[in-house]
Amino acid sequence: MFFEYPRLLFLLLLLIPLAAWYVYRQMKGKQDPSLQVSSLQPFEKEKVSYKRILYHVPFVLRMIALAALILAMSRPRSSSDYETTVTEGIDIMLAMDVSTSMLARDFEPDRIAAAKDIAIQFIAERPADRIGITVFAGESYTQCPLTTDRITLINMMKEIQTGLIEDGTAIGNGLATAVARLRDSEAISRVVILLTDGVNNRGEVTPLTAAEIARTYGVRVYTIGVGAHGMAPYPVMTPYGVQIQQIPVEIDEELLRQIADITGGEYFRATDNTKLMSIYSQINQMEKSRTLVDSFPVYRELFMIFALSALFALALEFLLRWIVLRRIP
């Protein structure tokens, strides 16, 4: 507690001469009328009246009231420090390849399922960010726009599957669609995480053109190539049912590095589930949200406590002086 006008507290010193004046009057006997008698013997067996005990209480109450009024006028206040935390998140678009090659089983259970599961973990670990999803194969579209609704985002991620759009790998279209979603973003950082397992072979927008567009809008692109080295098991439909055949893994790593370099991002190669999870963890560490902590005091006025105390003391003095201790003139 502190006082806004501490100099008024010097008025409390006035209580000292007032108390001294009261004691002086009591000692001189000038407060009450008196009667002289020859002997006090007839009164020695009389019990002390409770009124005699309360005789000085009204003066004490008046002093308390005066002290409380002085304290109230000094404007007592208390303060507490409150902190407000403002988190400025990052806008992130996940651009995911959904071509049929993502069904290869060099990941558990396959590439697309592993990519979805690990992306869901990544989403759950970034509650302050707006995240959206773009998918691409022979063409691209937005699966989920930028949002902070984690439940909707995760459900939309679970619904991703191959075969919904024309097959192929249009990396440029996928990246351009993701950048378009970030174009009007006002976030401090805008990021695209592009995941693919193939070579660009479709689309109206070339990957490098899309990368230049991303750089123009200040969008950083992290590229991830998924697939084991060499050959990968792939389910193939035959007249005898689904059979697993070994197919070559072809990833245009040079192109993905160029996209990352142009936009200020980084290229990663994931060869299994563990490596892909590690890559998302690295990106999670590199792209940190900014948290601003603002501390400010909140004041509470306490003068009313002292004002009410003074009022109560004066009321109690009035009751004692004019009802309990009232004297006949």
**Measured between alpha carbons, how far apart are the two ends of the chain, in Å?**
47
List pLDDT tens digits, range 149-164.
999 999 999 999 998 8
Q: What is the mean pLDDT of residues 247-268?
A: 95
Across all residues in the chain, what is the average pLDDT? 87
**The predicted structure's pLDDT at residue 261:** 96
Share of the chain above pLDDT 70, in %: 86
Q: What is the mean pLDDT of residues 243-266?
A: 94
Among 36-45, 123-132, 136-145, where is mean pLDDT lowest?
A: 36-45
List pLDDT tens digits, range 1-55.
888 888 989 999 989 998 898 888 877 765 555 666 666 566 555 555 666 667 7
**The predicted structure's pLDDT at residue 154:** 95
**The predicted structure's pLDDT at residue 311:** 93
Residues 161 and 55 in one domain: no
Share of the chain above pLDDT 90, in %: 58
Tell me if 38 is assigned to some domain. Answer: no
Tell me if 30 is assigned to some domain. Answer: no
Residues 20 and 65 in one domain: yes
Residues 270 and 309 in one domain: no
Residues 316 and 205 in one domain: no
Tell me if 228 is assigned to some domain. Answer: yes
**The predicted structure's pLDDT at residue 134:** 97
Helices (H), the chain: 15-28, 50-53, 57-73, 111-124, 150-158, 171-182, 207-216, 253-263, 273-286, 303-319
Residues 166 and 312 in one domain: no
Radius of gyration of the chain (CA): 42
Domain of 150, CATH number, reads 3.40.50.410
State which H helix or E strand residue 143 sits in: strand 140-147
Residues 150 and 168 in one domain: yes
Tell me if 106 is assigned to some domain. Answer: yes
List pLDDT tens digits, range 56-113.
788 889 899 999 999 999 988 887 766 565 566 789 999 999 999 999 999 999 999 9
Tell me if 274 is assigned to some domain. Answer: yes
Which DSSP state fits 297? E
Phi-psi category of residue 167: left, alpha or beta, with phi > 0 → left and psi -120 to 50 → alpha = beta
Residues 244 and 197 in one domain: yes
Residues 258 and 174 in one domain: yes
Q: What is the mean pLDDT of residues 267-284?
A: 94
pLDDT over threshold 90, residue 197: yes
